[in-house]
Each structure stands twice: as C-alpha cells, then as structure tokens.
C-alpha cells in the first residue's frame, strides 16, 4: 500500500503515525506510536487503526541514546514487521521564520535555512531537524515535507506582527510569529463540522499544555496570538514564564551577572509552573500538592489565560466562542479548569459556545477528537 509517515520529534521522544493513501487520495490512519525515554529507558509502543496494540517493547539505554537512533528503531520496526515503506514523510517543525508560510518540500537548502531558527526555538527546532537530517543522509531521494507551527499565523496584519522597535529589525525577521499553528489549523478545519454556527465567527482557542498559547480566529483565520518572536511569550507554561518584562532579562544579565546561556536555561527550562511553584511542571502534581505555591501557580496560569482572553477579544471586536484544547485539557485538571472558568465569568453572557477538544496537540496528523461542552462559572 502507498503510505505516508508523519513525525513529531522532541527531545526525549519521537511520535509517529502512518497513513494509508487510497486511490482517491484520502488518508486512513493505520499506525500511531512513539519511541519515548530516549537516552534513559527507551520504549517503543504503537497501536493500530482500531486501537489494538501492535508493539510494546523496551530497549537498552545505550542502544537508543539519541533521536536518530529512536527514528531508526521505529523505521526498522515498520519495515521489518509491518512491511511499511513510506512513499513520503511529513514533519512537524516549530519555527518557519519569515521564509515559510506553508508546507515545503525539504532539501539541503531548506534544512540549512531552518537551522538558522534554532536559537528562536531551542527546545524544539533542533529535535525537529534531527530526523530530517537523518533521512536526508540515509534516504536522500525520499520526499520529505515540513509543516510549520508558525505558518497558520502568517495571515496576521502589520498591527499584530510588528514590535515597536526599529523597523529594520522586522526586515531581519524580528517579528511576532505565533506558534501551535498546526493545532489551531486543525481546530479551524474541525469547527464547521462540530459547531457550524460559530465556525466563521469570532473564536478564541486556548491550546493548554506544558507548552501553552492562545489564538484569536475570525472566519477561520488567525488574527492575533499570545506568542511572539519565540515560544517564550504569552501565558505561563510548564517551564516557560510567558509574558515577561524585557527589563527582567537585562537585570539578570547586568545586575546578576548571568551568562546568556544561563538566562536561556532559566527561561526555557526552569520558569513557568515549575519555577513559580517550586514543585513541578506537571499540572497533575500541582493539583495533588497542598503547597501554597502550587496553588498560586495554578491560579496564576488561569489568571493570565483570562487576561489574554480579554486582549484577544479586543482584537476580534467581540467574542462568540471559546475553545479549549491541548494536553492540559486531556489531564482532566478539574481545579485548574474551575479556576479558568471562574476567571472567564466576565465573558459568560456573550459567549455562545464553550468547546473542549480532548485529543492530542498535533492536529494536522488527522487525529479526530470529540468535543465536550461545559458552562463557565461566575466568580
């Protein structure tokens, strides 16, 4: 069968799906799996189209120490045990910079241009590029396509895109990009079937996971986003602070004497829920904790969601629906959701629909999700 392999590579896992392509060009998912625990406790697991377990296998740590090795494990299993040799591979790539506003076929030149954006997404871009580089080396004629988290937001106008800094920097690529675009694009495409009466209206989508952002959509297109030049901006996240006065960065460097590399680690790996709570970057652990700073981290997260909702509603000129999606929603975090609903009480009278999507963040792979509805509480 003709098939397409879709890859979402992270620092400690490689998620993958295989889609069969029928004669009409329609995609049918056949395999969904991942290799996680890279460099620690490597574990390959995958399910078939009906959810049946196809493989559940562990490997010695030294045999799967890096992302290319994990990709090799998945590739060999697909080839040797399922006889799947994909005719093309699609990749999630977080940052497309100013160059790419739609999917692009990857060659050596494209790969080099994408490497230039590593400093703008250091938690994601290097890992997204490793399987691309591995396949370019081992299978140079295999078609590979990059799909970008920034592309959906390229419909923004200059008011949303520019920073109030010298305009020459914009030409160099210093601008507000927005992220999680693959998730938002899926939501925009799914809403006409789920809630057709509001699909083309003024909608705020909250992508809430360890990485979190919000997007204002009108007529199914991105109008504004909470994230900007990098994936640090916006609402607080598992280990990232969200909106932060640039003066804090200057203070850390000039007054505290922190090297830029240490500041980068602080902002990308040790801030957000983890830094504020001192407990964890896992929402479930925060909810289970009686530490007052864990409670503060939850309230701070949801408070910033509400503040951002007001900003995005202003960009839309009103609000017709609010959509929750992302990994945090999947954890069924009841107290965090209650806080969030309470803060959003101001909008309850004007919002016609409140929709919660419960499947994974990588919407572009075709994963279906079931919408659930719940009322917003008054604070």
**Structure confidence at residue 336 as a pLDDT band (50, 70, 90):** low
247: tokens are 């003066």
Q: Which of 3-12, 86-95, 107-116 is the least confident region?
A: 3-12
35: pLDDT strictly greater than 60 = yes
Residue 18's pLDDT is what? 98
**Does an H or E element contain 333, and which?**
none
**Residues 183-195: pLDDT tens digits?**
999 999 999 999 9
Residue 372's pLDDT is what? 35
Determine the Cα–Cα distance for residues 319 and 307; give it in Å rounded to an integer: 14
Residue predicted with more confidence, 343 or 313: 313
Q: Which of 52, 56, 99, 149 is catalytic?
A: 149
Section 370-379 average pLDDT: 36
CB 205 within 8 A of CB 217: yes
342: pLDDT strictly greater than 80 = no
SS (H, E, C) 138-188: HCCCCCEEEEECCHHHHHCCHHHHCCCCCHHHHHCCCCCCCCCHHHHHHHH
pLDDT averaged over every residue in the chain: 89
Residue 34's pLDDT is what? 95
How far is CA 137 from its chain centroid? 27
The CA–CA distances, whole Å, from 174 to 99, 254, 268 equal 12, 23, 19
**Residues 297-306: pLDDT tens digits?**
999 999 999 9
Using a pLDDT cut of 70, give the percent of the chain over it.
88
- How many CA atoms lie within 13 Å of 95's alpha carbon, on the beta-carbon side? 29
149 catalytic per annotation: yes
SS (H, E, C) 218-278: ECCEEEEECCCCCCCCCCCCCCCCCCCCHHHHHHHHHCCCCCHHHHHHHHHHCCHHHHHHC
**Structure confidence at residue 76 as a pLDDT band (50, 70, 90):** very high
Residue predicted with more confidence, 348 or 49: 49
**Residues 206-225: pLDDT tens digits?**
999 889 999 999 999 999 99
The CA–CA distances, whole Å, from 199 to 145, 160, 205, 325 equal 29, 22, 12, 16
Give pTM, 2 decimals: 0.85
């Amino acid at each position: 069968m003709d098939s397409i392999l879709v890859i979402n590579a992270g620092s400690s896992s490689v998620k993958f799906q295989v889609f069969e392509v029928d004669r009409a060009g329609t995609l049918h998912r056949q395999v969904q799996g991942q290799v996680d625990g890279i460099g620690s406790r490597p574990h390959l697991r995958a399910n078939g189209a009906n959810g049946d377990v196809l493989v559940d296998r562990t490997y010695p740590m030294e045999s799967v120490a890096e992302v290319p090795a994990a990709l090799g494990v998945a590739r060999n299993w697909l080839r040797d045990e399922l006889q799947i040799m994909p005719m093309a591979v699609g990749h999630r790539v977080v940052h497309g910079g100013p160059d790419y506003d739609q999917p692009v076929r990857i060659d050596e030149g494209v790969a080099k241009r994408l490497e230039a954006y590593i400093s703008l997404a250091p938690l994601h871009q290097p890992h997204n590029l490793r399987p691309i580089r591995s396949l370019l080396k081992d299978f140079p004629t295999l078609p590979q396509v990059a799909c970008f988290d920034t592309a959906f937001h390229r419909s923004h106008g200059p008011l949303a895109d520019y920073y109030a800094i010298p305009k020459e920097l914009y030409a160099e690529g210093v601008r507000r990009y927005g992220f999680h675009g693959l998730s938002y694009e899926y939501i925009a495409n799914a809403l006409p079937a789920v809630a057709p009466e509001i699909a083309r209206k003024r909608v705020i989508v909250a992508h809430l996971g360890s990485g979190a952002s919000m997007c204002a959509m009108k007529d199914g297109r991105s109008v504004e986003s909470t994230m900007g030049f990098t994936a640090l901006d916006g609402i607080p996240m598992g280990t990232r602070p969200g909106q932060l006065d640039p003066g804090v960065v200057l203070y850390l460097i000039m007054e505290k004497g922190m090297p830029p590399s240490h500041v980068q680690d602080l902002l990308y790996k040790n801030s957000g829920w983890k830094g504020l709570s001192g407990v964890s970057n896992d929402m479930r652990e925060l909810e289970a904790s009686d530490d007052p700073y864990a409670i503060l981290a939850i309230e701070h997260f949801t408070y910033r969601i509400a503040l951002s909702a007001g900003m995005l509603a202003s960009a839309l000129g009103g609000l017709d629906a609010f959509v929750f999606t992302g990994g945090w929603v999947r954890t069924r975090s009841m107290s965090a959701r209650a806080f969030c609903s309470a803060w959003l009480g101001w909008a309850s009278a004007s919002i016609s629909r409140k929709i919660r999507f419960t499947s994974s963040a990588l919407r572009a792979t075709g994963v279906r999700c079931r919408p659930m509805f719940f009322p917003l509480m008054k604070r």
